[in-house]
Structure 1
């Protein structure tokens, strides 16, 4: 009888412990850094601006013309100038490391070079010209991000969303001589315009990475890629002055799928204030859109240089340093 009573009491005790474990309050989530964690829930906002000092680059089919200062079939690079652009960004941070962010990158730089020559429909000989080149580029991203801490010193922000890009290259050959065949129609000279454009929208994904050297300084890196669907356009024509008459004009348009790659490496200094954190950042970046710009390359094949123009496509890229400020405050 004593044995049965003892067994019954032990059974009730075990049952009580099990029941208490089932209905006890679960432990609170830990915010301490570990192998891979997310931040505690918080609401913040940020706004930032960067100055960009960039140089454009193209494929060989678009980035070269014939050179009047060398032997026949010599070439000279377009050699777009270095110039200033900017990047603006704003974010709202919520939940456990989530954010919604919008960025805008803008670049618009002119270049003037001399020493080129080319064939025109109005003369069998090459005509010298000076080149005017205008590069315009806009990129807008609307993305959702997730911040992740990887140990004590490393963190990463993974993001994805939509990207819009608008690329416009306006080139003008200002001829310094006028063929006799059009001298009466163009007493004030003539020029040729060559425009290549692309604009499109599509998904973008990327990652921001930071390695903390100390609580204030960190090494940063970024990699992103997108695939855009949009329209590519090419137009050219000869314009006579002073009448403005346009001759031998060409226009072409097509739908295109354009992939892109973007990469950055830099440093960041975070200065904490009572109202938030001021970040000073700087580094080097490259961005490239593949086969974005329709153009017409030239071949020689034993004929006068430039007389055969074959439709093709060219990459468009920008590279150079950047620096800027970003303010992060509590919402």
Structure 2
């Protein structure tokens, strides 16, 4: 009897030692894990409906009655293209291109001219606003429990902002400009630098998820200003003001949206819509308002977006 009891105790101890030497569960709800190794690719496109916004010195002017009014900015369409290659355990290489181009005319403004002293003269504005942003980044996908996941990424960003404004005065200047004159105010920035960001998703049900993104960059590049007084109809330019400098420009952007994903045998089809904002700080050199000093102003875009993306298995 004693031998049987001793054998049972030794067997239990051996079993405990064997269990202690094995690994515990590797997938526990609430843990932060990376996906299994897989190769995928994706391509996506988004339609953007955006309005630009500027700082004080490029966003306001005078009303013909002498009060201060904001310069109207029109909404227009843009697009964002995206392509990625996914490899290893949740890694990816991604390139994106955001393009926005807006041309429109507005009226109901007044300003000072070289010919009228302190008298406010009515004018119209012809706007041409262009923005391009290209990101080349590497990302890492992580799962944070059963419902939450995030993608951390870092890489390089290139951005170009170009704003051309023509203040068109119809008042004639005898002998010099019988058809009036234009004061052009053109400004641009080209820069490149590091960018970091986070894509976040919270799964709901039936393929839906809440998505969010935040990103920031610090760009180094050239900021230029070019102002001209142009006589009509001759095209003569008696006054030109040009300035150029190297600038360090930080930026921030954020998105909040809703995504629907539908799985197929060959991949996953996604539809996403939401709202986005982005801002580049002190990115443009402009002529100050109301005093003609050289100033730096922000440039931003905000508005809704809607897009589709296909994620295929390599």
Give me the TM-score of the superposition, normalised by structure 2.
0.90
Tell whether 2:309 aligns with 1:326.
Answer: yes
Deviation at 1:87, TM superposition (A): 0.2
Deviation at 1:76, TM superposition (A): 1.9
CA distance in structure 2 between the aligned counterparts of 1:116 and 1:146, rounded to whole angstroms: 51
Q: SS of the residue aligned with 1:155?
A: strand
Give the corresponding residue for 2:3: none
Relative to structure 1, is the Cα distance of residues 29 and 184 closer, same or farther in structure 2, using a 3 angstrom cutoff?
Answer: farther
Contact 1:162 1:204 in 2 (8 A): yes
Deviations for 1:241-293, whole angstroms, at most 9, x for unmatched residues?
12110021100000000000000000000011111100000000000000001
Alignment of 1:82-121 (within 5 A): 82-121=75-114
Deviation at 1:310, TM superposition (A): 1.2
Deviation at 1:330, TM superposition (A): 0.5
User: Which of residues 277, 291, 294 in structure 2 aligns to 1:311?
Assistant: 294
Tell whether 2:136 aligns with 1:176.
Answer: no
Deviation at 1:298, TM superposition (A): 2.7
CA RMSD across the alignment: 2.0
Give the corresponding residue for 1:164: 158
Q: SS of the residue aligned with 1:209?
A: strand
CA distance in structure 1 between the aligned counterparts of 2:125 and 2:280, rounded to whole angstroms: 24
Tell whether 2:123 aligns with 1:129.
Answer: yes
**Structure 1 unaligned residues grouped into runs of 5+:** 1-9, 300-307
Deviation at 1:28, TM superposition (A): 11
CA distance in structure 2 between the aligned counterparts of 1:214 and 1:88, rounded to whole angstroms: 27
CA distance in structure 2 between the aligned counterparts of 1:27 and 1:98, rounded to whole angstroms: 26
Deviation at 1:215, TM superposition (A): 4.8
Contact 1:260 1:289 in 2 (8 A): yes
What is the aligned length?
298
CA distance in structure 1 between the aligned counterparts of 2:186 and 2:24, rounded to whole angstroms: 61
Task: Tell which structure's C-alpha radius of gyration is larger.
Answer: 1
User: Which of residues 210, 221, 243 in structure 2 aligns to 1:219?
Assistant: 210
Tell whether 2:40 aligns with 1:44.
Answer: yes
Relative to structure 1, is the Cα distance of residues 279 and 99 closer, same or farther in structure 2, using a 3 angstrom cutoff?
Answer: same
Deviation at 1:128, TM superposition (A): 1.4
**Structure 2 unaligned residues grouped into runs of 5+:** 1-9
Give me the TM-score of the superposition, normalised by structure 1.
0.86
Contact 2:57 2:287 in 1 (8 A): yes
Tell whether 2:122 aligns with 1:139.
Answer: no
Contact 2:58 2:289 in 1 (8 A): no
4+ residue runs over 3 A deviation: 26-34
Q: SS of the residue aligned with 1:246?
A: coil
Give the corresponding residue for 2:7: none
Deviation at 1:80, TM superposition (A): 0.8
CA distance in structure 1 between the aligned counterparts of 2:153 and 2:206, rounded to whole angstroms: 24
Contact 1:31 1:38 in 2 (8 A): no
Relative to structure 1, is the Cα distance of residues 188 and 97 closer, same or farther in structure 2, using a 3 angstrom cutoff?
Answer: same
Give the corresponding residue for 1:186: 177
